[in-house]
Chains A and B, each alone.
Chain A
């Protein structure tokens, strides 16, 4: 291929450079396709979710109550069962404590009284606050609560736990929320590009300067599922997971309603923003044959670490992140969308070009075709 002697590069040198280039080009090419570098993206143009969804229909709640919910329900609430604790402080009615602990969407009943998905949901028909960015914030009970009544209707209005009864933690495991109908309002021609969840503990205003604020990191996961009528089971997507930084100082300008004044204060709160790459968006887009609109979203926050002098991890239920503690908190969900045709074209065409490129490299590595000789031999 390249003659030794007067040539500036030996055949060995050429080979080493060539294989290095292959190893470099391949990951760059896949990153180029996955990150959608054909099209620029600006993570600034979020649209609110949850706002345009009709109120829930509870006509058939015994089958699967969560599928009827507008907003969110706890799916795992810290993986620590505080049922015994609450029994010890006086909550001795079975119905009161049946949903203190929730594992994979199932209430871990006090004495076998488990029922699914009837705890802690975001279902008000109006938002608690509108902020200066016109985002709607909805009320959501914290990680666990107790019921005031055993009637089905009352189960949708859980009572808050008093500070005196709170065990001091909401659990040391993962905190998962399920949003069954969140993606229903997305246009049929679009697919999610980014999801942003904001949790704020709106009950307590802190001094922006003198309060001790923290930052750290956590594992954030997003998974999707849909109910497959053929197999009568849930189909789960891949889990999309990253490590995120958090800072619980949330300076926020909000109004309590139309015509009400806007006020700016500091709260405990965090943003959990997941930007999907094109490869992930393409997978999500094709996950459910019926479309993304019928897909439920499960988000998970785990392995919460604090960047202070101790640098401790696994704090989870002990960190002031908005959803821990007593009372309720507020949540906002926003999305950025992309045209499905853009994602589809970008990933498919990119992969086809890459496949052809790799195939040509393979053929050029044989004795049957030497592109360098073909190109430079004529010069």
Chain B
């Protein structure tokens, strides 16, 4: 089990959203630029969260049950947030409605 899956998903959806909005504003007006920009943003933000913060170890501790019921509550909340972001992006093209 890769405990960082939540981080990868969260940063992926955020990156997709930000790059698509940047594209609509004419900032990244080619597919290549959006691809490179989105990949850079996703890799950079997930690397930041995993390497420079303890967010990943917090998720791991929660998933493994080390934090008990509060940890499971946290995993559930993060999962709901990821699903909501994904649904909003698919349905409305924005992360937050």
Taking Cβ atoms with an 8 Å cutoff, the residues of A that contact B are 1, 11-12, 14-16, 18-20, 22-23, 26-27, 30-31, 33-34, 277, 279, 282-283, 286, 347-348, 351-352, 354-359, 361-367
Contacts and interface: CB of A to CB of B under 8 A. Distances in A.
A358 B77 contact: yes
A366 B96 CA distance: 7
17 contacts: A14-B96, A16-B17, A20-B18, A27-B49, A30-B55, A279-B57, A282-B66, A348-B68, A351-B70, A351-B73, A351-B74, A355-B70, A359-B81, A363-B84, A365-B96, A365-B97, A366-B97
B66 to A, nearest CB: 5
Given A23-B49, A31-B54, A286-B66, A16 B77 contact: no
Given A23-B11, A277-B54, A366 B88 contact: yes
Given A19-B85, A30-B54, A34-B54, 13 more contacts: A11-B94, A12-B24, A15-B95, A19-B96, A31-B53, A277-B54, A279-B57, A351-B62, A355-B74, A355-B77, A358-B77, A362-B83, A365-B95
Given A19-B14, A355-B73, A355-B77, A365 B85 contact: yes
A351 B14 contact: no
B70 A18 contact: no
B33 interface: no
A359 B21 contact: no
Nearest to B79: A362
B61 interface: yes
Contact of A12 (B25, B55, B58, B67): B25
Q: Which 7 A-B pairs have the closest CB atoms?
A: A27-B53, A351-B70, A358-B77, A355-B73, A362-B81, A30-B58, A359-B77
A359 B80 CA distance: 7
Contacts of B57: 34, 279
Interface residues of B, number: 37
A15 B57 CA distance: 28
Contacts, number: 112
Interface SS of A by simple majority: helix
Contact of B17 (A15, A354, A363): A15
Contacts of B54: 27, 30-31, 34, 277, 279
Contacts of A30: 53-55, 58
Interface of B: 10-11, 14, 17-18, 21, 24-25, 45, 49, 53-55, 57-58, 61-62, 66-68, 70-71, 73-74, 76-78, 80-81, 83-85, 88, 94-97
The interface residues of chain B, by DSSP majority, are classed as: helix
Q: With a 10 A CB-CB cut-off, give which of B49, B70, B73 has the most chain A CB atoms.
A: B70
Given A23-B49, A31-B53, A282-B66, A16 B61 contact: no
B47 to A, nearest CB: 12
Given A23-B10, A283-B66, A351-B70, A366 B77 contact: no
Contacts of B96: 14-15, 18-19, 364-365
Contact of B58 (A279, A357, A364): A279
Contacts of B73: 351-352, 355-356
A34 B58 CA distance: 8
A362 B74 CA distance: 12
A109 B90 CA distance: 65
Contacts of A286: 66, 68
B83 to A, nearest CB: 8
A1 B18 CA distance: 18
B74 to A, nearest CB: 4
Nearest to A369: B97
